[in-house]
Amino acid sequence: MPLVTVEALEGRSVQQKRDLVKAITDAVVNVYGVPRDAVRVVLRNNAKEDIAWGGILFCDK
């Protein structure tokens, strides 16, 4: 019963989210051979002031 979490910058459209969960679910079903209904995907949307790379917030880059 795989659970996939995708953490990315906020601002994606519903259509992008729709396409992403479909493509990721396809990947898990094809490679791991699990039933489609067993795959759960959660999307997390981070603000630019809540992610940092190299010690610098995205909102400062």
31 phi, psi to nearest 5 deg: -85, -40
Token readout for 6 is: 């995708």
Compute the least distance from the CB of residue 47 to a second copy, in Å.
Answer: 9
The footprint of a second copy (CB under 8 A) covers 1-9, 12, 14, 16-32, 34, 36-37, 39-46, 49-57, 59-60
Catalytically active residues are: 2
Compute the least distance from the CB of residue 6 to a second copy, in Å.
Answer: 5
Nearest to 47 by CA among 57, 37, 33, 32: 57
